[in-house]
Structure 1
Amino acid sequence: MNTNNFQEHRIDRGQGSIYARDYAGTGPAFVLMHGFPDNLHIYDELVPHLVAGGRRVVVFDFLGFGASDKPTGAKYSFEQQLGDLHAVVQGLGLDKIIPVGHDSSGPAAVNYAIEHPEHVDSVCLMNAFYLESPTAKYPELIELFATTNLKALTQAILRSPEQFAWVLNFQRNKFQEHLTEDQKVSYAKFLGPLIDANFRNQPSSGPAFAQMTTHLFEEVAKNTKRINKMWANDIPVKLIWGETDPYLNYGIAKHLHSLLKHSSLHILPAGHWVQLDMPDKVAEVMLGNV
């Protein structure tokens, strides 16, 4: 499928600029957001299906990741990522959007609906976190960097390419334990190298990753107190979950489903990156074809 028919944009954020791709189409734009260790390319397989459905699609890299700027000394946070999303909406002149959050961009998707309901048609979450959940587990890599009293250790790991590569490899193997053989092949060929490049290429996404993970537990606690605001604003939420994700498992989706006023739950036989494992099925749900 052709994924090259898009307009590129650089959107100023003061401490740097955001890289965005805008695919022409109609209806509320799907605005796709990535998680901690990756970038907009996790949607490369999904975008063509959405565009083929006639929809406008925007993908972008958060500041500090992918092709967006990674300025020395920049401050990264969940609030900054929420601001990145709003800057994209304003910069591209979007009216109504469907923010799509995966992994650590769950907070940006939900909180944007809470703070800017006039711009949000609905919300879509895929194997994401938002609030405290009884079944939630975080990848060992994330939990390590999120534990603030281990900062000296994690900073040392970041300074050592060999040590960081070992930790990444450990995490890669854990994520693949429950994937099908075809999904493992796809992971090895595409996702693994994408994540590695995010950290190895200079300037690196390491500083953004380290700062964002430091705020994880604080953000989750804050959002646990905010979820009732989603009940009040009546915005529908689609929960699309890979059932074999060993960390952000489908128990999180079921918990969110029980707390939200207008939500639909779709469990697929896929892993954490459900949009890569089953892009056609994810698109069907997003487009309302199932």
Structure 2
Amino acid sequence: MSSTNTVLTGRNGLYAAGAALAALAFNQVSSRRAEHRYPPVGRILDVDGVAVHVLERGSGDPVVLIHGSGSLIQDFMTSGLVDRLAESRRVIVFDRPGYGYSARPRGTVWTPERQAALLVAACAQIGVERPVVMGHSWGTLVALAWALDHPEKLSRLVLASGYFFPTMRPDAVPTTIAGMPIIGDLISHTIAPIQTRLTGPFGNRMVFSPARPPQRFLDYMPFGLILRPQQLRATAADSGQMPAAAARLAKRYGELKLPVTILWGEGDKLVDQSIQSARLLRELSQAVGLEIAGGGHMIHHVRPDLVTNAILAPGLPVPA
């Protein structure tokens, strides 16, 4: 009986190894195809030895847009935000480290503070001074770190659908594991891309709910780039560190002196905005805020007009 079990165990191990190798090969081929189909939309900067992908459009006073977890530059392009802002502003959009075509070198813990420092250095390299900085979702942590650590390097903050205070998150343990060295690499190169392909449509519906994903988003977002192992690993690492990062930054919110606009969507399924954006609005005396009816988490897609107006002017946009 024991010898039979040993044989079965050995066969199962071979099957598992074969499945892992097949998944690895499939994901590598899919990544190469995605990069061929979706080349960089901007240019690649060398910022202190780190490759940073940046898109620039328009002219005028600068605006920097910082995307959330699991996303990339094209999120702001497909929402129409880049085109709207570029009519009167110089718009700068970065892929955060590990996303799109920006590198995420090993040996560095890519906290919001470290990511902000990289983007501040990138802005200095391309001659951007004191921009309005808008962060969406996880990107709000980077925007806040920018304002707290480099207050002279921006003029105003716009925080959309943010996560600002630590909470218990059921996804913290699996995402932390998926973002770890070795085991995280194994997961991101084998299971994670296939699993995400299967759950992606549901995820899109949830992130937009109670609104629906716009057809422009579904047609033009480069999902193949998002599904590459390196980006999935960056997403997991960022998600795993989110509560600790928010706890660390929250202790310093009283240091903020610049104007802050806080926007969030009614019915956000990803973040309980009553204990995030609404709370931050109460705590910052200089802040103004607006809940967008039916906006969900992706308010820049659902109401790009209101988000654009909030970026352009320090007051609040008036919903139509």
- Asked whether 1:120 is paired with 2:154, we answer yes
1:138-163, Cα deviation, whole Å (9 max, x unpaired)? 6x6x5454455996987665321333
1:110, CA displacement in angstroms?
1.1
Aligned residue in 2 for 1:243: 266
Query: Aligned pair in 2 of structure 1 residues 271, 63: CA closer, same or farther (>3 Å)?
Result: same
The equivalences for 1:140-219 within 5 A come to 143=172, 145-148=174-177, 157-158=187-188, 159-160=190-191, 161-180=193-212, 183=213, 185-191=215-221, 194-200=222-228, 204-219=230-245
For 1:67 and 1:81, how far apart are their aligned partners in 2? 15
Please give the secondary structure, in 1, of the residue aligned with 2:110.
Answer: coil
Gaps of 5+ in 2: 1-40
Q: Is the 8 A contact 1:62 1:68 kept in 2?
A: yes
Alignment of 1:62-77 (within 5 A): 62-69=96-103, 76-77=110-111
Alpha-carbon distance, 1:124 to partner: 0.5
| Secondary structure at 2:85 match in 1 | helix
Q: Which residue of 2 aligns with 1:273?
A: 298
The one-letter amino acid paired with 2:210 is H
Aligned residues of 1:179 and 1:244 also touching (Cα < 8 A): no
C-alpha distance in structure 1 between counterparts of 2:233 and 2:111, whole Å = 11
CA contact (8 A) 1:250 1:267 kept: no
After TM superposition, give the deviation of residue 185 of structure 1 in Å: 4.2
Q: TM-score, normalised by structure 1?
A: 0.80
1:15–1:74 Cα contact (<8 Å) kept: no
Relative to 1, partners in 2 of residues 1:22 and 1:224: Cα closer, same or farther, differing over 3 Å? Answer: same
1:39 aligns with 2:72: yes
| Distance in 1 (alpha carbons) for counterparts of 2:233 and 2:107 | 9
Q: Amino acid of the residue matched to residue 95 of structure 2?
A: D
- Superposition deviation, residue 219 in structure 1: 0.7
- Residue 230 of structure 2 aligns to a residue whose secondary structure is coil
Aligned position for 2:114:
80
Closer/same/farther in 2, CA of residues 270 and 144 from structure 1, 3 Å limit: farther
Contact 1:49-1:283 at 8 Å conserved across structures: yes
Aligned residue number for residue 24 of structure 2: none
1:36 Cα offset (Å):
1.0
**In the alignment, is the contact (CA less than 8 A) between 2:113 and 2:146 conserved in 1?**
no
Amino acid at match of 2:289: L
Residue type of the partner of 2:237? Q
TM-score calculated relative to the size of structure 2: 0.73
Shift of 1:9: 3.6
Instruction: Structure 1: give runs of 5+ residues left out of the alignment.
Output: 1-6
1:97 aligned to 2:123?
no
Distance, in Å, in 2 between the alignment partners of 1:176 and 1:89 is: 31
Three-state SS of the structure 2 residue aligned to 1:26 is: coil
The number of residues matched between the two structures is 268
Percent pairwise identity: 22
